[in-house]
């Protein structure tokens, strides 16, 4: 029998016609949406659509999911594997790039397909650990005692069934030098019903300290269903951080970023990272340059407390950490 969140997942909208109809949007948008959805499918949960404004083609939530003609444009610096992740992928499903931390791409799919996603061309299917690869990953971690934190990512790791997550987490918890279990997920935002009591039980059932990093780009994403899910995590003393991507037409203004941080903290989420867009083919129309990004952060710093200002970072192929981008001085 399917649980509530699994039913909601089955009902995600994948048809451009349906999305446009639900939002009373112009049928002119359809041909491009259908074309671009062939490159990377449309996928958006009903609850996320309900937070969009009807009749507004520029809605900041809609822009994150609506396939556009611009995605077919070739841009010189934008590639299929901008982070060259294939180079730091010792075992299928494992990325060991940064000191002390490894990232496991546990699940290939997401509940939502974000148009700017740097994994839109990622060879997911080859990178989901099967049984044999999982054993190899556990052995790799057991043999590397510098590693203290495991990040479950994807795709979206919370799309895994509770039983599967539980088995994985228990295997990880058997490695004494591992201390922190970090979950990188967009589900608490886009399908908050995924945060069930049973899931909380699974996450807190070992000695590993669970930490949640959610992914939200705009304050309109944070409705009551999200704050209820975050409250459940907080009851279990799970710290929740947010990472955003700086996206043209979504959150590229001081006002939008300030609202986002204020709203995050109001429901108990700590602003963590603001990422520059990874230069992935098909997403060039979302790019904001570094100078403008630095100005936006400076603008935030001038208006709100330091704890509300996320760290502005970018990922560089081959770097040993995310790269900070300097704040510019405003007059």
Ligand X SMILES: *Cc1c(COP(=O)(O)O)cnc(C)c1O
The residues of the shown chain that bind ligand X, judged by CB under 6 A, are: 95, 97-98, 101, 103, 151, 322
Q: What does the DSSP assignment read for 19-88?
A: HHHHTT--GGGHHHHHHHHHHS---B-HHHHTTSPTT-TT-TTHHHH---GGGG---TT-BSSTT-GGGG
Nearer to ligand SF4, 283 or 300 (CB): 283
- Alpha-carbon distance 300 to 254, whole Å? 6
Selected binder of ligand SF4 within 9, 25, 61, 112 (CB under 6 A): 112
**Nearest distance in Å: CB 244, ligand SF4:** 10
Secondary structure E strands in the chain: 94-98, 101-105, 149-153, 180-185, 209-215, 239-245, 270-275, 311-314, 323-324
User: What is the token pair recorded at 92?
Assistant: 């299928």
**Nearest distance in Å: CB 235, ligand X:** 24
From the list ligand SF4, ligand X, none, partner contacted by residue 156 (C-beta under 5 to 8 A by kind): ligand SF4
**Nearest distance in Å: CB 322, ligand X:** 5
**Nearest distance in Å: CB 102, ligand SF4:** 17
Nearer to ligand X, 62 or 152 (CB): 152
Q: Is 63 in the site for ligand SF4 (CB under 6 A)?
A: no
From the list ligand SF4, ligand X, none, partner contacted by residue 151 (C-beta under 5 to 8 A by kind): ligand X
From the list ligand SF4, ligand X, none, partner contacted by residue 277 (C-beta under 5 to 8 A by kind): none
* Residue with the two structure tokens 């052995």: 139
- Alpha-carbon distance 260 to 61, whole Å? 13
Nearer to ligand SF4, 15 or 207 (CB): 15
Selected binder of ligand SF4 within 97, 166, 182, 215 (CB under 6 A): 215
- Alpha-carbon distance 34 to 181, whole Å? 39
Nearer to ligand X, 13 or 107 (CB): 107
Interface with ligand SF4 (CB under 6 A), residue total 11
Interface of this chain with ligand SF4, residues 117 to 156, rule: CB under 6 A: 117, 119, 154-156
| Long-range contacts (CB closer than 8 Å, 24 or more residues apart) made by 69-72 | 69/32, 69/35, 69/36, 70/284, 70/285, 71/36, 71/39, 71/40, 71/115, 71/282, 71/283, 71/285, 72/35, 72/36, 72/39, 72/282
Selected binder of ligand SF4 within 51, 186, 279, 322 (CB under 6 A): 186
Please give the residue ranges that form the binding site for ligand SF4 (CB under 6 A).
Answer: 110, 112-114, 117, 119, 154-156, 186, 215
């Amino acid at each position: 029998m399917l649980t509530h969140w699994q039913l909601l997942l089955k009902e995600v909208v994948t048809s451009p016609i349906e999305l446009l109809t639900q939002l009373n949007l112009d049928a002119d948008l359809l041909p491009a949406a259908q074309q671009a959805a062939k490159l990377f499918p449309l996928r958006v949960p009903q609850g996320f659509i309900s937070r969009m404004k009807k009749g507004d083609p520029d809605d900041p939530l809609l822009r994150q999911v609506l396939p556009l003609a611009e995605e077919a444009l070739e841009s010189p610096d934008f590639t299929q594997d901008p982070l060259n992740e294939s180079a730091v992928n010792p075992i299928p499903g494992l990325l060991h790039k940064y000191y002390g931390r490894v990232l496991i791409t546990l699940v290939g799919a997401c509940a939502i397909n974000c148009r700017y996603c740097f994994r839109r061309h990622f060879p997911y299917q080859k990178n989901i650990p099967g049984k044999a690869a999982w054993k190899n990953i556990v052995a790799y971690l057991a043999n590397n005692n510098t590693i203290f934190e495991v990040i479950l990512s994807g795709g979206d790791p919370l799309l895994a069934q509770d039983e599967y997550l539980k088995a994985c987490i228990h295997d990880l918890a058997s490695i004494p030098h591992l201390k922190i279990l970090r979950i990188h997920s967009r589900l608490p935002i886009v399908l908050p019903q995924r945060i069930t009591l049973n899931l909380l039980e699974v996450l807190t059932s070992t000695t590993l300290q669970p930490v949640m990093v959610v992914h939200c780009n705009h304050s309109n994403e944070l409705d009551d269903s999200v704050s209820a899910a975050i409250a459940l995590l907080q009851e279990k003393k799970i710290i929740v951080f947010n990472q955003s991507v700086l996206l043209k037409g979504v959150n590229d203004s001081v006002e939008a970023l300030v609202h986002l941080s204020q709203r995050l903290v109001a429901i108990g989420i700590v602003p963590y990272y603001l990422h520059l867009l990874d230069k992935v083919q098909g997403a060039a129309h979302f790019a904001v340059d570094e100078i403008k990004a630095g100005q936006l952060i400076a603008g935030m710093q001038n208006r709100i407390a330091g704890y509300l200002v996320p760290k502005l970072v970018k990922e560089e192929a081959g770097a040993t950490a995310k790269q900070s981008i300097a704040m510019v001085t405003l007059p």
